[in-house]
Structure 1
């Protein structure tokens, strides 16, 4: 806050001499937030507006488990919108603890009669503590509010569907392992990062961050990692080649870089890279759309149905990156790097990866 005040002083604003400390400003913000909550709760209660509760577990920097509570409702006769309501520190992580904390949170602003009439839906992730059939939070809430509609977060369901594809489609495991090796190589070694940056500077490219793919993060994170390898393909090849020929490294280290370069420059890997880039671009866009606050179930259903049609069409009509790969395979060169065959790699088949799961079991994500 003092920094903001200094900026305002430079802009010529008279901010006075008191109430400038971080503690005081924090108390002012808390008071404003409390009054706004009271005003919003009063509007919702007096107008008997329907209420949807969205929750998600999280962990603070200090390691404490908290419950993020958001509400979705119409305010002042406007369209329904989703807004943050409260951050609850949990005494435990069982379904009973979460249910008790949530009901206490809602009870501070809404009476039980109102909740019985207007608490219409509850949304959460797919953790067993939330959606367990016998003692889950959703089950306990439904016992209190029989008309409650429970919804498993569409974005979490999308991630589960992607996770199932990883298990079922041959070749994805090898692709994921290679990216894990790249992540470990550059994430834990400033020396490798520096050498890679020098290679990028030599060819005039901007270095992108390489992360893990198809892990616990949202699918958009996987798309960024694949895009980083696609854009910095030549940089990675130069770095691996230099490291493999660096006599200051031991033989095991040089062999590791030689193996990584053999995978990187194989026609099969480039084919898999283009295929995954197209698929993850579509899934990343869908994931971001589903995360929007104004998203509704009918709109989400249309987006999911459209995405299935897109994947089905991409089986016979390659995406833009796969089209580039076909040209590269015909020329046996990708981004100026010669391609070669590597019989140890497994190729991902478009029909299996894009259509089998998405079209065969759409109920998993819709």
Structure 2
């Protein structure tokens, strides 16, 4: 298996070698992970210009001795040098790097950034904008209605656990879905590298198969099927799934996550630069504000599906503990908090002097007056040329 893995890995890497070696400048991105063997790994990508268009290419995935700055840096160096065993001057091409906000990556005293900048003074370090987005959204959800949010997380985790570790329960769910003429979708694991897409996917599965899950848990309890743990989950999960307050929150949160997930994907596009990222952020904030004026798609469907007896898709829900006005106030407060926390996380995205100077190359910033265009960007371009002189003059 290791031999097969090695061949497959080299085949993927071979597609990147020419692009990396021919690139005039490099922007590397790296992230850590723990594999199924509980070994620390570091994956490295590079951002290059290919045929006048930006492109992300895979470089390497490397086992590292430890997750300290020295260990991570050694893994990055090994991965970059594996592109050509004869050696290539990748550090001379390196102008920027990106990672998550962990102190081991971006800390000021002892970090990967500090060690690399000691060798490459002109290096610009960036905190991944998608990671900033997720941190901002998570901060807001933990700060507002934390109990409801944690109840939802508990339901999703237990739902995945119930079917992931029991082939019998999954088979029963499949048979029940067929009997109800519905398509069975296996619950998604909430835990993963990217928290927000996992949460959105988990919610999507739960809402699509809501009736099937409720019916299966009720059958499990009535038939006294499974162990004590299975019976405990089968009683606890439906209790939450029949809560009007939690279901209202689920549908509302799904609408919010749809906007944020789309924003995250926009950030991750190869061609997405700072102007595109900032424009996408502004658009997303406006979409969230719109949800204060009227319910989002998922929430509106939920509201419309509640009958006069308080049933949702035939399932009797508990009575809401909040009035419609209080529910509206709660969701508006969360939207305001999400926007505020995300903007705080993104606030310094273009605050560095070098990043500000680079904005002269963005067409959106061109002045409208002809007189201003004649001298536009002269000082910024001069500053950039001086800053990157080691790269431009080599």
* Distance change (3 Å), C-alpha of 1:333 and 1:99: same
Tell me the C-alpha RMSD between the 2 structures: 3.4
Tell me which of 106, 114, 120 is aligned to 1:145.
Answer: 120
Segment drifting more, 232-241 vs 331-340: 331-340
Q: Which runs of 5+ in 2 are unaligned?
A: 350-394
Alignment: residue pair count: 336
User: TM-score if structure 1 supplies the norm length?
Assistant: 0.79
Aligned partners of 1:62, 1:214: CA distance in 2, in Å? 18
Give the conservation status (yes or no) of the 8 Å contact 1:209–1:225: no
Q: Which residue of 2 aligns with 1:339?
A: 317
Segment drifting more, 199-208 vs 328-337: 328-337
Aligned partners of 2:113, 2:338: CA distance in 1, in Å? 28
Aligned partners of 1:100, 1:252: CA distance in 2, in Å? 45
Give the conservation status (yes or no) of the 8 Å contact 1:186–1:193: yes
Secondary structure of the structure 2 residue equivalent to 1:69: strand
Q: Which residue of 2 aligns with 1:158?
A: 133
Tell me which of 186, 208, 216 is aligned to 2:185.
Answer: 208
Give the conservation status (yes or no) of the 8 Å contact 1:57–1:65: yes
- Corresponding position: 1:54 with 2:29: yes
User: TM-score if structure 2 supplies the norm length?
Assistant: 0.74
Give the conservation status (yes or no) of the 8 Å contact 2:306–2:313: no
Q: Which residue of 2 aligns with 1:357?
A: 338
Secondary structure of the structure 1 residue equivalent to 2:32: strand
* Distance change (3 Å), C-alpha of 1:115 and 1:284: same
Query: 1:121 Cα deviation (Å)?
Result: 0.8
Give the conservation status (yes or no) of the 8 Å contact 2:132–2:342: no
Q: Which residue of 1 aligns with 2:160?
A: 183
Query: 1:72 Cα deviation (Å)?
Result: 1.4
Correspondence list, 1:101-112, <5 A: 101-103=75-77, 106=80, 109-111=87-89
Q: Which residue of 2 aligns with 1:18?
A: none
Tell me which of 81, 88, 99 is aligned to 1:124.
Answer: 99
Aligned partners of 1:188, 1:25: CA distance in 2, in Å? 27
* Distance change (3 Å), C-alpha of 1:198 and 1:137: same
Q: Which residue of 1 aligns with 2:60?
A: 86
CA deviation vs aligned residue, 1:256-284 (integer Å, no higher than 9, x gap): 53443232122212211211221222222
* Distance change (3 Å), C-alpha of 1:145 and 1:174: same
Tell me which of 96, 109, 112 is aligned to 2:70.
Answer: 96
Segment drifting more, 123-132 vs 243-252: 243-252
* Distance change (3 Å), C-alpha of 1:141 and 1:200: same
